[in-house]
Structure formats: C-alpha cells, structure tokens
Amino acid sequence: MKMQTNGNVWRSILAIVVGLVLVIWPGAALNYIVIFLGVVLLVGGAVAVASYYGAKRQTDAVSFPVDGAVTGLVGLLLILFPSFFVSVLMFVLGVLLIVAAASEVSTLMKARKAGFAVAAWNYVVPVLVLVGGIVVLVNPFASAATVFVLFGIMAMIYGVSDLYNQYTYSSNK
C-alpha cells in the first residue's frame, strides 16, 4: 500500500494551512469569517426577495418576504461592520459565562446548606469560568483572537499527525 495522495492528504494539508492562517492572523480570520457569513445571509436574502418578484408576476397572492429582506439586511450589516458583531457576540458569551459561574456557585452553596459535603476545590471551575467571563467582557476581541489561535494550533497538530499516520500506516511493508 502506498501513501494515498487523495482527499486524506489534501485534508491534512488544508488543516495545516488553515491552522497557520488562524495562528498568524487570528483577528483578520475572525473578521473574514463574519464577512463570509454576511455574504451568505445577503445572498440568501437577495434570492428570497428576487423570487418574490418572480412569483409576483405570476400571481398577486404572494406576500413580500420580510424574513428574506431582514436576512439580507443583517448580512449587509455583518459585511460592513464585522468587528462590531464579533464584539457583540463576545459580550454575550462573557455574560453567559458569568451567569453560568454564578449559577454553579449558587448550586454549590445550596448543596452545602442542605448538608452535602462540598469541598473548596468544587469552587475552582466556577471561579475560573467567572474570571474567563470577566476577561471576555473586558477585552472581547483579544479573547476571540485567542480562541482562534488555539484552534489554529490544534488544526496544525491534527494536520501533521494525520500526515504522519498516513505515511506510517500506508507505506509498503
């Protein structure tokens, strides 16, 4: 068996390239992902509105696709203001992390009050989640970039490991 040069190798190479891009340019990659999502929404909205006008010629019973127009508008806003939407998303994530941490601490306190043995180390993860939520709220864009860098590192490790495994297990014996 020889090392396959088909989709498996290309998948590994793509993972390495994507990983490098995310590590080198995490902020730009994040903005481009938001812009790409905006393009998808804008095209979807435009198709819905265009199909409305095509169907309107055939019958007057078709109502204007408000959802398509709103989808297109949201897509346009994502394209024009990607950093703003990243910040909003990270703000929401930060708030969710803080709420989750507070809920977990509350649950642990109720359990202790009910007579369960709750060790101090049980509070470590909720406190870390709380700190993470605060960090995300204070610096949302850097937090998002850090996640992309970590994802990029993992993608590169996957790609190299997959290439190695394909070479090792596909060579002639």
pLDDT digits (tens, 9 = 90+) for 149-165: 988 999 999 999 988 88
Q: What confidence score (pLDDT) does residue 1 get? A: 43
Q: Which residue has the higher pLDDT, 7 or 133?
A: 133
- C-beta of residue 9 within 8 angstroms of C-beta of residue 143: no
**Is 80 exceeded by the pLDDT of residue 16?**
yes
- C-beta of residue 44 within 8 angstroms of C-beta of residue 72: yes
The residue written with tokens 């369960």 in the block is 116
Q: Which residue from 74, 68, 76, 77 is spatially nearest to 50, judged by alpha carbons? A: 68
Using pLDDT thresholds of 50, 70 and 90, give the confidence band for residue 36.
very high
The residue written with tokens 């009910």 in the block is 114
Question: Taking phi first (over 0 means left), then psi (-120 to 50 degrees means alpha), and beta for anything else, what does residue 139 get?
Answer: beta
Using pLDDT thresholds of 50, 70 and 90, give the confidence band for residue 127.
very high
Q: Directed axis angle between helix 26-56 and helix 66-80, to 10°?
A: 150
- C-beta of residue 52 within 8 angstroms of C-beta of residue 71: no
Question: What are 65-106's pLDDT values in tens digits?
Answer: 889 899 999 999 999 999 898 888 888 988 999 999 999 999
